[in-house]
Amino acid sequence: MIMLKLKNLFKKSEHNVDFDNLPQHIGIIMDGNGRWAKKRGLPRTGGHAVGAKTFEKIVEDAGNIGIKIVTVYAFSTENWNRPKEEVDTLMSLLEDYLDNGLERLAGRDVKIHFIGDRSAFSDEFQKKICHMEKATETNSGLLLNVALNYGGRAEILNAVKEICHKVQNGEFSCSDIDEKTISDHLYTAGQPDPDLIIRPSGEYRLSNFLMWQSAYSELWFSNLLWPDFSKENLLEAISDYQKRNRRFGGV
């Protein structure tokens, strides 16, 4: 009886996902923490604490499902515009991840890479970022990009500046610049573009996430709020993605 129940649960949770045809790279805009807290009469910061737990859980689920790359939007270049108390809470949650995330990830084959402008953070914070990257650099299961002080436009601007310097130094000429040159100078250099971008919270926008890389990404929106997002929802998004017809401008 128990076995039958478990079997049914497993079947139900598969959402008809074809595990041989998974999206290689999934981007996730972890949105809706504030509204989740508000609905419960809590301060917005309470929503961020639960959202941080959801983040770690979903990373684990994505790895178990067999996803190769996940990019999570944790803090945008525009999120500095929030009240200081909220920014401070977000930073201390991030610091907790930098301090204790490795222990919680122990035994999981996850390689962590931070994308975004880290120069805005203190030396100590930057050291912690580097430590986490170094400690996981030989892992080859799931590549997790954590977008921190990340903005898609800032990323492209940064790439343009780096390319300009290289042209000035004679490393290549303007006529050599093509789309791959730009891609190679983004924080995600060498990685495939996201196949699927997931955004909960009921907003239908990218909010400056992976502006270059998302040119042909499939988008999946949901009214769920990030703290409520579960493995079931991830499987649902993947299953929907697998029904799409990606044409890339062809027929």
Catalytic positions are 31, 79
Nearer to ligand IPE, 17 or 75 (CB): 75
Task: Work out what residue 75 binds among Mg ion, ligand IPE, none; the CB cut-off runs from 5 to 8 Å by kind.
Answer: ligand IPE
Is the Cβ–Cβ distance between 65 and 238 less than 8 Å? yes
Query: How many residues of this chain interact with Mg ion, rule: CB under 5 A?
Result: 1
- Residue 30 contact among Mg ion, ligand IPE, none, beta carbon within 5 to 8 Å by kind: ligand IPE
CA 63 – CA 51 distance, rounded (Å): 18
Write out the residues near ligand IPE by the rule CB under 6 A. Answer: 29-35, 73-76, 79, 90, 201, 203, 205, 207
Q: Which does 35 bind (CB under 5 to 8 A by kind): ligand IPE, Mg ion, none?
A: ligand IPE
Can residue 31 be called a binding residue for Mg ion (CB under 5 A)? yes
DSSP state of 192: P
Nearer to ligand IPE, 34 or 194 (CB): 34
Of residues 73 and 241, the one with the C-beta less far from ligand IPE: 73
* Rounded distance between C-alpha atoms, residue 198 and residue 196, angstroms: 6
Under the criterion CB under 5 A, does residue 155 sit at the interface with Mg ion? no
How far, in Å, CA of 81 to CA of 104, rounded? 31
The answer to whether 75 contacts Mg ion (rule: CB under 5 A) is no
How many Å is the Cα radius of gyration of the chain? 19
10 Å CB burial of residue 190 (0-12, 13-18, 19+) is: exposed
Q: Which is nearer to ligand IPE, 22 or 198 (CB)?
A: 198
Q: What's at 25, amino acid-wise?
A: H
Query: Which residue's CB comes closest to ligand IPE?
Result: 34
CA separation for the pair 51, 53 (Å, rounded): 5
Interface with Mg ion, residue 236, by CB under 5 A: no
Token pair for 94? 């991030």
Closest of 29, 66, 71 to residue 51, by C-alpha: 29
Cβ closest to ligand IPE, residue 51 vs residue 163 = 51
- Which amino acid belongs to residue 32? G
When CB distances are held under 5 to 8 angstroms depending on the partner's kind, the choice from Mg ion, ligand IPE, none that residue 76 binds is ligand IPE
Site for Mg ion, rule CB under 5 A: 31
